[in-house]
Amino acid sequence: MDHRPGAHARPRAPPVIAGAPPLRVLVAHNRYQVRGGEDAAVARDLAALERAGCAVEAVFLDNGAIDSGLARLRAAFAATHAPDGIARVMAAARRFGPDVVHVHNFFPLLSPGIHAAARAAGYATVQTLHNYRLICPGAFLMRDGAPCEACVTGSPYQAVRFACYRGSRIGSLAVARMVDRHRRAGTWRRDVDRFVALTPFARERFIAAGFPEGRIRIRPNGLPDPGPPSAGPRGGLLYVGRLSPEKGVLVLAEAASRAGTRVTVIGEGPLAGALAGHPSLDLRGACAPDAVQDAMARAAAVVVPSLWYEGLPMVVAEAYAAGTPVVASRIGALASLVADGETGFLAGPGDATDLGTALARIAGDPAASAAMGRGARAVYEREWREDVTTRALIEIYRDAVAARAAGPSLAPTGT
């Protein structure tokens, strides 16, 4: 579900670097069966790059045909090297003549092998690290509802024992094989000019897994500006997201009860039935993006009580754009996305007492909450506004092109 705020507002386009020719960018992305945050981020980037003066073409592969358990297994085993998907992208590259090939999701119809093919043809390559699929067969560094980093430095075949990919040991074997093959082949050190990590936390995890430190740049997904936040009164707490265990919604329910407050909940998921009728929650189900934006603009704070390593939850960026502080778990990237006491509050993951205390502080001090909301808006304008992130992406492209032109021996790999 895409809760993108500000769809009606036209973001400012960053100027092309003076004296530099417009870049030609080929974007490759394997769409998900259910449209999600990655698909929305790719669409936003494409539009923003065109507004910035780049020549852009996209090749989309679609998982819609993977419609059975057998089809999923076949696709997973083919994901180590997917020749059909690679051929489609390279045919587009020969026709379009890009300066850089930017790969987003490659799983399972494209495979990491696209980078070797692009490199052999002389194109610079960029890979966005939307999730942890390259170092974790389950993609989320999570097992049994808690963070897990066993495969970061260890064998990815550990995932088979725990059926980390869709609860299937056979499927997990297929994905672990892909991770292991490309780790051993040196794909990430040899074939990719630049990586895009969404947060400093994610960058550190990939460095720990052996990715070349000198090639990983930090650039968050951009978000169009919904306009200045309303100066009107605010009230109430808001949760927006999937209703599932790893999102911490059960902890949120207990915390709200302890704080004696109510939380408006927007979203769907497997825990909807268990949460229905809870005295401290007001379940609204799925809502249109405009309704989500309006709810954020009126809320005293948005709550993100996750129990796992979120990638880059755009709900934080959306809240900041609306001038709304965030109460989040002190875990993974969230611990750095929220400045405690400046743009919101942090609480121990899974700690309903600590979270309840933070919720009570928000409800009990509207002036402090408003001040944190202003701080949140300042962070959005500095780091997440779409023109800012687009300019950063173009700089990464130019860096990748320069590295490719210099040759492998001069491309930084780090230690």
pLDDT tens digits along 35-45: 778 999 999 99
The CA distance from 218 to 311, in Å, is 12
* Residues 50 and 127 placed together within one structural domain of the fold: yes
Q: What per-residue confidence (pLDDT) applies to 412?
A: 56
* Residues 345 and 398 placed together within one structural domain of the fold: no
DSSP 299: -
For residue 335, the enclosing domain spans 237-383
Is residue 319 within 8 Å of 300, Cβ to Cβ? no
Could you tell me which of 92, 106, 10 has the C-alpha nearest to residue 56? 92
Assigned domain for 10 exists: no
34 — pLDDT class (breaks 50, 70, 90): low
* Residues 49 and 166 placed together within one structural domain of the fold: yes
Tell the residue number behind the tokens 């919101």, with chain if given: 344
* Residues 390 and 338 placed together within one structural domain of the fold: no
CATH number at residue 277: 3.40.50.2000
The stretch 40-60 carries a mean pLDDT of 96
* Residues 406 and 368 placed together within one structural domain of the fold: no
* Residues 170 and 200 placed together within one structural domain of the fold: yes
Domain count, the chain: 2
* Residues 169 and 189 placed together within one structural domain of the fold: yes
Q: Enumerate residues 6+ apart whose C-beta is below 8 A from 169.
A: 160, 161, 163
Give the type of residue at 410: L
Give the pLDDT confidence of 213-270 residue by residue, as tens digits. 999 999 999 999 999 998 888 999 999 999 999 999 999 999 999 999 999 999 999 9
Assigned domain for 8 exists: no
* Residues 210 and 249 placed together within one structural domain of the fold: no
Assigned domain for 292 exists: yes
Could you tell me which of 7, 331, 299 has the C-alpha nearest to residue 141? 331
12 — pLDDT class (breaks 50, 70, 90): very low
Q: Which residue has the higher pLDDT, 7 or 123?
A: 123
* Residues 241 and 365 placed together within one structural domain of the fold: yes
Could you tell me which of 33, 34, 38 has the C-alpha nearest to residue 4? 38
Q: What per-residue confidence (pLDDT) applies to 5?
A: 35
CA distances from 304 to 28, 226, 313 (A): 31, 21, 9
Assigned domain for 17 exists: no
Tell the residue number behind the tokens 């059926």, with chain if given: 163
Q: Which residue has the higher pLDDT, 385 or 108?
A: 385
Within 10 angstroms of residue 236's Cβ, the number of other Cβ atoms is 16
* Residues 378 and 392 placed together within one structural domain of the fold: no
Tokens representing residue 391 in the block: 């300019």
Assigned domain for 12 exists: no
* Residues 30 and 132 placed together within one structural domain of the fold: yes
The phi, psi pair for 108, rounded to 5°, reads: -105, 0
Q: Which stretch of 69-78, 177-186, 372-381, 400-409 has the lowest confidence by average pLDDT?
A: 69-78
413 — pLDDT class (breaks 50, 70, 90): low
Average pLDDT, the chain: 91
**Can you state the percent helix, strand and coil of the chain, rounding each to 5?**
45, 15, 40
Assigned domain for 299 exists: yes
* Statement: residue 13 has pLDDT above 70: no
Assigned domain for 231 exists: no
Tell the residue number behind the tokens 């799983």, with chain if given: 107
* Residues 376 and 391 placed together within one structural domain of the fold: no
Give the pLDDT confidence of 170-226 residue by residue, as tens digits. 889 989 999 999 999 999 999 999 999 999 999 999 999 999 999 999 999 999 999
* Statement: residue 11 has pLDDT above 50: no
The CA distance from 393 to 219, in Å, is 7
Percent of the chain with pLDDT over 70: 92
Is residue 364 within 8 Å of 374, Cβ to Cβ? no
Q: What per-residue confidence (pLDDT) applies to 414?
A: 55
pTM of the model: 0.89
Is residue 291 within 8 Å of 390, Cβ to Cβ? no
Assigned domain for 16 exists: no
